[in-house]
């Protein structure tokens, strides 16, 4: 009889040891490993918002937040938060200094293993990006790592720009050919500007008007901010990029099939044509230096005195396809994408305003968009297909952050907070 009882106890013990551990704080729990998931972060200026999931820890007495700052070797307890609160604001953080966070859970006098760490670098900017095929615009933290706000309701958002005087954003929705005005909270306040086949736009903050191009319908139009079309010119030949000098109200249009840059006045009268631009891929305007940068298949051109004689001052070769250009308006340096098909075959380059190579960074996979952060001069690169947003150091080109968004990033802009 004793033998049977002993055998029963062995079988029962084996069954108990094989049973799945349901307590999330049990180190042998196959799912949690005895620790909570890492906290979710984002930053606003000098404050970091920390939140975590509470669903698995109904008996928790406190959530314990640990922090390690740059140049510190160990984590220290920052705060103990009691339920029902499941978030915490860490305030007074130093700009441009990395911070790492972990959390643990306390219950009945027991503290769990610390979670995996998460990293953030707070600062006075946000990165905004259009996610073309997910139909949304996303606001990211200063370092581009974490989403702060997702704005849905777009069909196919593409280009984005900021009106710094009103702290509003303009976003093109390709599907319906509309330009939509959006607040910092993601509220669409105006969607009255409509141009069939809208390709590009430029906002003139001096006169509160928007210039837009339609590549397929050969049109350039001027709208007031209420959406009234004040002027339309239909004599172009596939106009693509448009830029504005906000002091003089002069407009620059890259007229694709004619291979020219056209300069117009506010009334749409053509003042000058600069020919020789067949096969271009990008154009940006540096108003501070009155310089146009134009990207071709295999070289980059600078056009100086854009308001005057429009003189070609530089022609830089050695590219495969200059697909995108972004200007650091303070320094005059430019960042550009040299697009090559294939995984890891493209490059990002940083050039001085005089055309000298400052950085040559290989290993990118079909990068589509650039945005310069004018606070720290770093550059964000978006790989359109992979959905990665990568932050590059302004001096070394080191990849500072990586955000695998899973989306299809088409365009980006950095908002600097006042």
Q: Going edge to edge, which strands form the sheet with 239-245?
A: 239-245, 250-255, 260-264, 270-275
Phi, psi of 289, deg, nearest 5: -110, 5
Q: 157 pairs with which residues across the strands?
A: 173
pLDDT on residue 8: 43
pLDDT on residue 170: 96
Question: What tokens were used for 106?
Answer: 């306390």
CATH of the domain at 55: 2.60.40.10
Contact 25, 112 (CB under 8 A): yes
63 falls within a domain: yes
CA dist 346 and 348 (Å) reads 7
287 falls within a domain: no
Question: What tokens were used for 75?
Answer: 């984590």
pLDDT under 70: residue ranges of the chain? 1-34, 54-58
pLDDT on residue 332: 97
Q: Please name the helix (run of DSSP H) or strand (run of DSSP E) that holds residue 14, with its range, or none.
A: helix 2-18
Contact 20, 30 (CB under 8 A): yes
DSSP result, 318-345: --S-EEEEEE-TTT--EEEEE--SSTT-
207 falls within a domain: no
CA dist 330 and 110 (Å) reads 54
Q: What residues contact 331, with CB distance under 8 A and at least 6 apart?
A: 353, 377
Q: Is 326 exposed, middle or buried (0-12, 13-18, 19+ CB in 10 A)?
A: buried
349 falls within a domain: no
The total of structural domains in the chain comes to 1
Q: Please name the helix (run of DSSP H) or strand (run of DSSP E) that holds residue 381, with its range, or none.
A: strand 379-383
Phi, psi of 171, deg, nearest 5: -130, 130
Kindly report whether the peptide bond that precedes residue 84 is cis, defined as omega within 30 degrees of 0.
Answer: yes
241 falls within a domain: no
pLDDT on residue 16: 45
Q: Is 37 exposed, middle or buried (0-12, 13-18, 19+ CB in 10 A)?
A: middle
Q: What residues contact 323, with CB distance under 8 A and at least 6 apart?
A: 281, 282, 295, 337, 338, 339, 367, 368
220 falls within a domain: no
pLDDT on residue 23: 61
pLDDT on residue 7: 47
CA-closest candidate to residue 186, choices 138, 120, 255: 138
Describe the chain by its helix, strand, coil percentages, rounded to 5: 5, 50, 40
Domain that holds residue 25: 1-123
CB crowding 254-273: b at 16 or more within 10 Å, else e = bbbebebbbbbebebeeebe
271 falls within a domain: no
pLDDT on residue 55: 58
110 falls within a domain: yes
pLDDT on residue 17: 45
CA dist 55 and 196 (Å) reads 49
Q: Where are the beta strands (DSSP E) in 97-187?
A: 99-107, 110-111, 118-120, 125-131, 136-140, 147-151, 157-163, 168-173, 178-182
Contact 308, 321 (CB under 8 A): no
């Amino acid at each position: 009889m004793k033998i049977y009882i002993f055998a029963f106890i062995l079988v029962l013990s084996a069954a108990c040891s094989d049973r799945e551990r349901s307590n999330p704080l049990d180190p042998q729990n196959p799912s949690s490993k005895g620790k909570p998931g890492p906290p979710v972060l984002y930053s606003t200026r000098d404050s970091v918002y920390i939140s975590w999931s509470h669903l698995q820890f109904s008996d928790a007495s406190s959530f314990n937040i640990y922090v390690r700052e740059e140049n510190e070797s160990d984590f220290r307890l920052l705060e103990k938060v009691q339920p029902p609160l499941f978030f915490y604001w860490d305030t007074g953080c130093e700009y441009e200094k990395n911070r790492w966070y972990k959390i643990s859970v306390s219950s009945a006098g027991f503290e769990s293993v610390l979670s995996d760490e998460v990293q953030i670098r707070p600062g006075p900017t946000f990165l905004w990006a259009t996610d073309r095929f997910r139909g949304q615009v996303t606001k990211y933290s200063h370092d581009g790592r974490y989403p702060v706000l997702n704005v849905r309701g777009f069909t196919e958002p593409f280009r984005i720009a900021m009106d710094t005087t009103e702290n509003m954003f303009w976003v093109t929705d390709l599907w319906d050919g509309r330009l939509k005005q959006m607040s910092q909270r993601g509220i669409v306040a105006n969607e009255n500007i409509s141009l069939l086949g809208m390709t590009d736009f430029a906002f003139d903050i001096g006169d509160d008007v928007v210039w837009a191009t339609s590549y397929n319908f050969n049109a350039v139009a001027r709208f007031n901010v209420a959406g009234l079309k004040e002027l339309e010119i239909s004599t172009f030949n596939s106009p693509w990029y448009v830029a504005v000098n906000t002091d003089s109200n002069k407009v620059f249009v890259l007229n694709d099939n004619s291979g020219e840059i056209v300069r117009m006045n506010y009334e749409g009268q053509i003042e000058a044509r600069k020919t020789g631009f067949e096969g271009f891929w990008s154009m940006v305007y540096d108003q501070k230096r009155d310089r146009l940068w134009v990207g071709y298949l295999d070289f980059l051109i600078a056009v100086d005195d854009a308001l005057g004689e429009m003189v070609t001052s530089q022609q830089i070769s050695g590219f495969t396809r200059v697909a995108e250009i972004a200007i650091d308006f303070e320094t005059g340096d430019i960042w550009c994408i040299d697009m090559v098909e294939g995984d890891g075959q493209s490059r990002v380059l940083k050039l001085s305003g005089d055309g000298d190579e400052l950085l040559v960074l290989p290993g990118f996979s079909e990068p589509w968009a650039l945005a310069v952060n004018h606070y720290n001069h770093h550059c964000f690169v978006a790989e359109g297909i992979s959905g990665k947003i990568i932050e590059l150091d302004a001096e070394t080109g080191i990849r500072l952050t990586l955000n695998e968004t899973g989306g299809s990033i088409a365009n980006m802009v950095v908002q600097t907070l006042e």
